[in-house]
Amino acid sequence: MKKPHIGWDWVVRQLRMRLRLVIVIFAFMIFNLLAPLALPLFTQRIIDSITKTPESVFGTETVAIGILSLIAVAAAPAVTLANTKNIAQLSAFIENRLQATIFVKLLTSIEHASQKPTAELLNLFAKSKSISSFIGGAAPSLLLNILISAICFLVMIYYDAIIAFLSLSIAVIGSFLTFSVQEKVVAAVNQNYQRQGHRQAFLMEVIRGLVAIRNQTLQVPAFRKWKKLVAGNSESAVELMYYGGHAPTITSFISGLTTLVIVTFGAYRITEGLLSLGDLLALSILATNLSVPFAAAASLNRQYQEAKVAIQDLNEFFGDRKQKQSTVPLMKALPDVGIALNDLSLQYSGAERKSLDSITASLPSSGLVAIVGKNGAGKSSLVRAITGLVTPTCGTVMIGGRPRTHYDDQWLRRRFGIVEQDSMLFSGTILENLIAGLSEHPTEQELHSALHFSGADKILAKLPGGLHATLDLDARNLSGGERQRLAISRAHLRSPSVAVLDEPTSSLDAESALNLERGLTTWAKDRLVILVTHHLHAIKSAERILVLENGLLVSEGTHFDLVEHSIQYQEMWNDYTRAE
């Protein structure tokens, strides 16, 4: 599989996709390049005519230059405005493409993304703006300013070479002064990115946990933390504005100094008969354009550094370890769904011990298989390894006699029905949540069967709108048990070859949980159902039970086998029956 890459070559490919727009932008830039030259020429012509030959003020040549100047002055704003829109469209295109690329990566590399702090992930999307702004705005503007400056400098040499080089020297000195603070500007930019991300992540956390904050009387600590984050963000913003303000300040100083030098030295040249008054005015106008690219380059350097840092961060995100793929063509056929775990081990980054340690087991192609163990035994980690959400440190997950990595990942996931411990529903209607990801719209009978299977039909009877009832963000207008029932119905609708349910009844009452888990036995007759649960009564009829402890598979068998021969299972069974 080709390694994803975000770099300047990626940017060039995007520009090629909008080649016509790029050509229009540069055509307008050329017009804006030539337009500023008309005004100083016309000014010089008029002044010299008045001071030397007043009768030729309205001569044919002067009138022609005046008409060209009028056209340039009138058309330049319109062309600039149109080009601003073109550049904005190009920037938006690049940003949209980049954000889509990041979003796809986020969706397809869950293992890596889930280990990243929320603030860091949010910053990736924010930094895409830096790249698009640089490519669509700053870079073309600098190119235009450089071309204008070069032509103005050549014209200044035509009028007076000494004044031209004096003006250039002053502009270069100004650019060095501006570049001297750019490192601090870039540091301030990065710090501001980070603090914005932390503030946004905490705000999302607070919004999601408003009920818990109120119940636990955490309003004051939450407000203090929020106040601290906002203050830090404001501090970095002030620092950024301060260092960012150096460029225009230095530019203003250089502009004034250049004018002073031109007027002083130009006056001397006039007295020597080497310049006319019109020449001096033309030089003054041209000099204002000479220093622009140096200031723009300083500003561009900041934006370039922002874009460079953004690209480096994106490359780090895109280049991190992915699940290994087979070099053979990816399979899209599953003749047998039996699962074999061969010496499977998993150790999360930064963890002191393995979450799974050398697990070897064989799961049938149909029937109910339960995974049990105390908290922290490795049950959820084993489920995540089977479903491909994490890559084993060593060992192999075999499905249908083939390594899991030999299958097309998206195709294989469509053969799985998964219910997580914390059931996730999205804003939208209940129906949209149920049918999302299905290749075909289910029939009314299929919907009814799936809802009845989990008991979710009772939920719909109480909701205005039924299937078309709208869910809030994170389905906060439903209880935890209601969300779990709908998540189970969603998995049932997929009619999966393998159903994986990780504590699917943790938010249900005991009676509802028992009824549902007993129903899984019937559902498992024509598919493999992997169930992680603490309700041991519900798995008495399971074909196989895997008992985990500290990441080890300590025993396996049927309920009756384990009650007789497994000390760990005996303890869990005794604790379970005692608690009833």
Per-residue pLDDT of the chain (580 residues; tens, 9 = 90+): 444 456 677 778 888 888 898 888 888 877 776 676 666 666 666 666 666 666 555 666 667 767 777 777 777 788 888 888 888 888 888 888 888 887 877 776 665 556 666 666 777 777 777 777 777 666 776 777 777 778 778 888 888 888 888 888 887 787 777 777 777 877 887 788 778 878 887 887 788 777 677 766 778 888 888 898 889 888 888 887 887 777 777 777 877 888 888 888 888 888 888 887 777 877 887 777 776 666 566 566 667 767 777 777 777 777 654 444 445 556 676 767 788 999 999 988 777 888 899 899 999 888 999 999 888 888 888 988 888 888 888 999 988 888 888 888 888 888 888 888 777 777 788 888 888 878 788 888 888 988 888 888 888 888 888 888 888 777 777 887 888 888 888 888 888 889 998 888 777 777 777 778 778 888 888 889 999 888 888 788 888 999 999 999 999 999 999 988 889 989 888 888 876 6
Does residue 542 form part of some domain? yes
Residues 200 and 269 in one domain: yes
Length of the chain: 580
Contact between 569 and 563 (Cβ < 8 Å): yes
Handedness of CA 418, 419, 425, 428 (dihedral sign): positive
Position 182 in a domain = yes
The answer to whether residues 491 and 502 belong to one domain is no
Residues 410 and 504 in one domain: yes
- 485 CB-contact burial (10 Å; exposed 0-12 / middle 13-18 / buried 19+): buried
Assess if residue 124 is contained within a domain: yes
Decide if 3 is inside a domain: no
pLDDT at 250: 78
Whether residues 208 and 355 share a domain: the answer is no
**Is there a single domain that holds both residue 550 and residue 450?**
no
Rounded-to-integer distance, Cα 52 and Cα 276, Å = 9
Q: Of 319, 353, 372, which marks where a domain is finished?
A: 319
Is the same domain home to 485 and 529?
A: no
Report d(CA 484, CA 46) in Å as an integer: 83
pLDDT value, residue 464: 84
Residue type, 10: W
Query: Looking at residue 207, what is its pLDDT?
Result: 80
Count up the domains in the chain and report the number: 3
Is residue 326 in a domain? no
List the domain range (segments joined by +) for residue 481. 423-495
Identify whether 331 is part of a domain: no
**For position 137, what pLDDT does the model report?**
65
If asked whether residues 312 and 300 sit together in one domain, one would say yes
Q: What is the pLDDT of residue 60?
A: 67
Amino acid 207 reads I
Kindly state whether residues 363 and 229 are assigned to the same domain. no
Distance in angstroms (rounded) separating the CA atoms of residues 297 and 179 = 9
Which CATH number does the domain housing residue 266 bear? Answer: 1.20.1560.10
- CATH at residue 368: 3.40.50.300
385 and 242, same structural domain? no
pLDDT of residue 205: 78
Q: Can you give the pLDDT at residue 2?
A: 46
- Residue 139 shares a structural domain with residue 268: yes
Same domain for 573 and 464, yes or no, is no
| 332 within some domain | no
Q: Are residues 102 and 240 in the same domain?
A: yes
Query: Is residue 176 in some structural domain?
Result: yes
Closest Cα to residue 301, out of 189, 192, 150, 193? 189
